[in-house]
Structure 1
Amino acid sequence: MAGGVNNVGQSGLSYVDQLKSLQEQKKPTEETGKKNLKQEDFLSLLTKQLSQQDPFKPVGNDKMIAQMASFATVDGIGKMNKQFESLNSSMTSNKALQASSLVGRDVLVPGAAGTKQEGKGMAAMVNLPQHVDNLMVRIEDAHGQLVKTFDAGAKPGGDSRVEWDGKDQNGQPLPAGRYKVKAAGMVDGQSKEFSVSTYANVNSVLLGKDKGNVLLNLAGHESPVRLAEVLEVGKA
């Protein structure tokens, strides 16, 4: 075996070939359905390797220690992965407990579509790249029909809150439902539409889905929203 790694024993197979052969013989476990090669298998193969080595070219101590260190590293990585899985599960549970306190509260999430309650208006947050002299706001219903436009006035750069009173262009209250808020203004002499975020009430918290992410069921939203997407927590 050259260098203590590729010796060909009495079986005519190299150490690497024997390792592959042993791995192929391992049957899938009932729990995972995957082929697992444990440290005991490596040690068994190493013992067989030593018993079949060329007596004129024995494995040196340094090569032996290197192989043992490799086995220990593989086993250590396996244990560390299990510890990380346990830590991730614990962190997810902690996030879920924190998220449960959001039930019944309003949260700000990306998206121009929000839910207007009966007899009330609706608020949104507009992200502006710079100061805007006249921020124009458009309100559209669930069918995309324009129901109102108004001038929110001058706004500084950054996140600016805008509020709609829930009435149409003629001052008549509109029914509860889904409405979309759009905002635009002049930037460097050109009209530009800005990104908008809206508020929604948290109905419930979902666990064990979306690869461990904590999800929030929001009023008026068809799909749950990840907790990490929440930009602001409002009043209950």
Structure 2
Amino acid sequence: MSLINQLSQTSAQTTQTKSQSNTVATNTTSTTSTSTGNPFLDGIRLPSESIVPEAKSQQLTQEDFFSLLSQQLSMQDPFKPVDNDQMIAQMASFSTVDGISKLNDEIVNLNSVMTSSQALQASGLVGRKVLIPTDTGNVSTESPTLSGVVSTPDKIPVINVRVLDDKGQVVSTFNIDGSDGGNIPVTWDGLNKNGEPVSAGNYTIKASGLVDGKSQELAVSTYAHVTSVSLGTASTGAILNLRGGAGIKLSDVLAVSET
């Protein structure tokens, strides 16, 4: 009788242990399982991990075009299919847009090459003087005189020249012969009214003469010394850096002097 009781107790303990194991397995399965058996609930269940899509380019590629074309063909009305001419026109339009985009890239590269080439050519002007469309020039120890060109609309026997400092005060006056007309060269020796050398700085040359019996201001261009060249941009081109801190585009240069 005792043996039977022991067997019964052992069997009961074994059954209880298996029941606990099944319960743990069921809980584990219910915990790890993400399926409810209902397709609708499984479809709206939030994902366990957040998936961030990779950033894509906003530009359409040829692959995107053919993908859209395939969708268009698959969803078209079989009784009213897309006309072949329309499909060819769409493909031609996309090819045209793609070609224009590539052409723009080539033009940008060409502009860069032209800018570098222009700057290389302009570097040959370093150390030389260029004629620029301004009546203001720089006087320094290295270049104590100021030269330029007076443009006359007609032959003027006497042209009055005035030199002003940066404050607008007249430091020197003299006359030049303009009887030949056209572009008349003018040179100021850098001396003031008392015959003394002026201090370094920027000075302006003003010229006037009688045209049809009336005094008229004449256009003056001055020579400037090129100290360096900057690359600039595609729109401005090479920039010539002049003595005195000024700068001018290469395309605005009127003439180049030997000295």
- 1:189 offset after TM fit, Å? 2.5
Query: 2:84 and 2:205 mapped to 1: Cα distance?
Result: 73
Aligned AA (1:198): T
Partner of 1:195: 219
Q: What is the aligned-residue identity percentage?
A: 50
Report the counterpart of residue 19 of structure 1 in structure 2: none
**Alpha-carbon distance between aligned partners in 1 of 2:161 and 2:154, rounded to the nearest angstrom:** 17
CA distance in 2, matches of 1:87, 1:178: 38
**Aligned-pair distance for 1:208?**
4.4
Matches within 5 A, 1:1-236: 29=57, 35-118=58-141, 120-209=144-233, 211=235, 213-222=237-246, 224-236=247-259
SS in 1 for 2:158: coil
- Which amino acid in 1 is paired with 2:146? M
Paired positions, count = 205
The separation in 1 between residues aligned to 2:56 and 2:206, in whole angstroms, is 56
SS in 2 for 1:192: strand
Secondary structure at 1:220 match in 2: coil
Rg bigger for which structure? 2
Change (3 A) 1:164 1:62: same
Task: Label 1:46 to 1:107 Cα distance change in 2 as closer, same or farther (>3 A).
Answer: same
Bigger CA drift: 185-194 or 64-73? 185-194
TM-aligned CA deviation for residue 228 of structure 1: 0.9
Q: Which runs of 4+ in 1 moved over 6 A?
A: none
Deviations 1:69-98 (A, max 9, x none): 111111111111111111111111111111
SS of aligned partner of 1:134? strand
Q: Is the 8 A contact 2:115 2:234 kept in 1?
A: no
| Secondary structure at the counterpart of residue 152 of structure 1 | strand
> Partner amino acid for 1:91?
M
State the SS of the aligned residue for 1:62: helix
- Distance verdict in 2 for CA 1:71–1:183, change over 3 Å: same
Q: Aligned pair in 2 of structure 1 residues 195, 210: CA closer, same or farther (>3 Å)? A: farther
**TM-align CA RMSD:** 2.2
What's the secondary structure of 2:173's corresponding residue?
strand
TM-score, normalised to structure 2's length?
0.72
Is the Cα–Cα contact under 8 Å of residues 149 and 220 in structure 2 kept in the other structure?
yes
| SS in structure 2 at match of 1:36 | coil
**Is the Cα–Cα contact under 8 Å of residues 216 and 225 in structure 1 kept in the other structure?**
yes
* Amino acid corresponding to residue 39 of structure 1 in structure 2: Q
Displacement after TM superposition at 1:164 (Å): 1.2
Normalising by structure 1, report the TM-score: 0.79
Alignment partners' CA distance in 2, 1:193 and 1:175: 27
CA distance in 1, matches of 2:153, 2:75: 73
- Structure 1 CA distance, aligned partners of 2:234 and 2:214? 41
**Structure with the largest fraction of helix:** 2
Matches of 1:98 and 1:92, distance apart in 2: 10
Uncovered stretches (5+) of structure 1, i.e. residues with no partner: 1-26, 30-34
SS of residue in 2 equivalent to 1:153: strand
Question: Shift of residue 210 of structure 1?
Answer: 7.0
1:93-114 Cα offsets, whole Å, 9 max, x none, are 1111111111111111111110
Instruction: Identify which range, 88-97 or 43-52, moves more after superposition.
Output: 43-52
Q: CA deviation at 1:180?
A: 0.5
